[in-house]
Structure 1
C-alpha cells in the first residue's frame, strides 16, 4: 500500500478581508489543495478553518459554497445559454435571478449583456472564463477563490480577467484568493502573497516588498525559477 503523503503541513495563514490574496509556489507545493479546503471541496484531515470566527465545518456546505465561491482553472460551461449558466447557482439554493441582475453580472466581467442568450459552449476561452466568474458572483459571495484562472488564456484575455478582479476588490470590497504561478501577475494585481513550499507557508508579504531585492526573499528566488518543491 502506498504511503499517504502530507500535502499541507502545519500551515497557518490569515486571508485579508477585501484584498486580493495570492497563493504562490512551485507545482505540487499544496496551493491548489489549500484553496479547495477553503470551501470544503477537500476536507482536511486535521486542523480547522475559520470564517468570521466560525468553523466552516459548522456551515452547511451549499451555504458555504455560496458564500465562498470557486472558479476553476479551466472554464466549464453548462448546457444552455449564458443566462442558464448564471441562473445555475441561485437555482441550486431555491432562488431566482432576474435579467437585470444577469446584465449587471456580465457588465462586471466586461461582457456585453446582449450575449445573455448566446449558447455558452460557443464562447471563446477568455469569454468562458469571464462567464465562470460571473456565474460564481451570482450568489453574491463574500469570498471568491480562483485557481490559476488565466493560465490557458492569451495576454489580452489575461489582462481583462485581471482588470475584473481588481475592480471586484477595489470597488466592491470583495475578498479574493488567487492561486497563480505567475509572479508578474501577482505583482500587477495582488495586495498580499503567501509563498508555499512543500505544504508550508515560508514567506508572506506584499509582492512589492518580497520582490524588492533589498533583502533575501524566497519569493524573489521563486520568481527567478530557482525554487522547486522537495528542495
Structure 2
C-alpha cells in the first residue's frame, strides 16, 4: 500500500491554515519520527496520513484504494482509548471485527496479553489498569491486526521510564516484523533511539526531513538547531 504521497496537503480550520501545504512521500520501510514544537502540526499530519482529517486542499494518496488502506493501518492515541471491558475482550475485539473465529482470536489475544505483561490480568477491566498498562494494551490492540502501517501520537508522553522501554520494545518488534511506523514524539532521546528518518515541523509546515543519522548531526536550518538546543521555536 506504500508509498503514501502527500501533494499540497493543506488543512484549514476557521479560516486559519493549521497544516501545509505539505509535499511528502512516505517510503515503504522504516520508522519515521515526527518532531517539532507544540502546535507545529504533528498530530494533524498524522491524522491526514491516517485519513481521518479532511483536507482543505491537496491530496494524500496511497498505492491502493483508500478503503483498503484504512483496513491495513492502525492508530494509537496519546491518551489510550480502551473499551469498558476486560483485557481479553479488548484484545479480542479487533479480531472479532476481522471475523476471526472465536477460538483463534482468544488464543491470539492471550498470546498478546502475555507479551505485554498482562497475561495474569485477562479478566481485569481495562479501565482499572495503570496508564502504562493501558497504553501497552492500546498498542497491542493495534498490532494484533498485523497492520501494514501504524501511526502513534506521542504514546509515551505520560509514562515512566519502564513503561516507555516496554512500548519501545514492542515498536521495534513490530518494525522487525514488517510494520511501517510513523510516530510523533516530544522526547528527543526516544527519537534518537528509534528513528530511521525524521520529519521536523514548524508552524504547520515540514521544515526538514531526511535520514535520522544525518539530520541529528547536520541540521540544515537554524530552527532545527535551536529546537535541538531546547530553545523556543515559533
TM-score (norm 2): 0.85
Q: Provide the residue aligned with 1:76 in structure 2.
A: 81
Q: Write the mapping of 1:1-231 to structure 2, written as runs, cut at 5 A.
A: 4-51=15-62, 53-54=63-64, 58-60=65-67, 64-96=69-101, 98-108=105-115, 110-169=116-175, 171-212=176-217, 218-229=223-234
Q: After alignment, is 140-149 or 11-20 more displaced?
A: 11-20
Q: After alignment, is 140-149 or 156-165 more displaced?
A: 156-165
Higher strand residue share: 2
d(CA) in 2 for partners of 1:103, 1:79: 18
Q: Secondary structure at the match of 1:177?
A: strand
Q: Secondary structure at the match of 1:47?
A: strand
Change (3 A) 1:83 1:5: same
d(CA) in 2 for partners of 1:99, 1:106: 10
TM-score (norm 1): 0.86
d(CA) in 1 for partners of 2:92, 2:53: 25
- Residue 17 of structure 1 deviates from its aligned partner by 2.3
Show structure 2 runs of 5+ residues with no match: 1-12
d(CA) in 1 for partners of 2:29, 2:219: 28
Q: Secondary structure at the match of 2:59?
A: coil
Change (3 A) 1:83 1:3: closer
- Residue 105 of structure 1 deviates from its aligned partner by 2.4
After superposition, give the CA deviation of every residue in 1:180-212 in whole Å (9 maximum; x if it has no partner): 111111001111101011111111123332222
Q: How many residues align?
A: 220
Contact 2:82/2:127 (<8 A) preserved: yes
Contact 1:194/1:205 (<8 A) preserved: yes
d(CA) in 2 for partners of 1:216, 1:44: 28
Contact 2:32/2:197 (<8 A) preserved: yes
Structure possessing the higher relative contact order (Cα contacts under 8 Å, 6 or more residues apart): 1
- Residue 88 of structure 1 deviates from its aligned partner by 2.2
Contact 1:30/1:197 (<8 A) preserved: yes
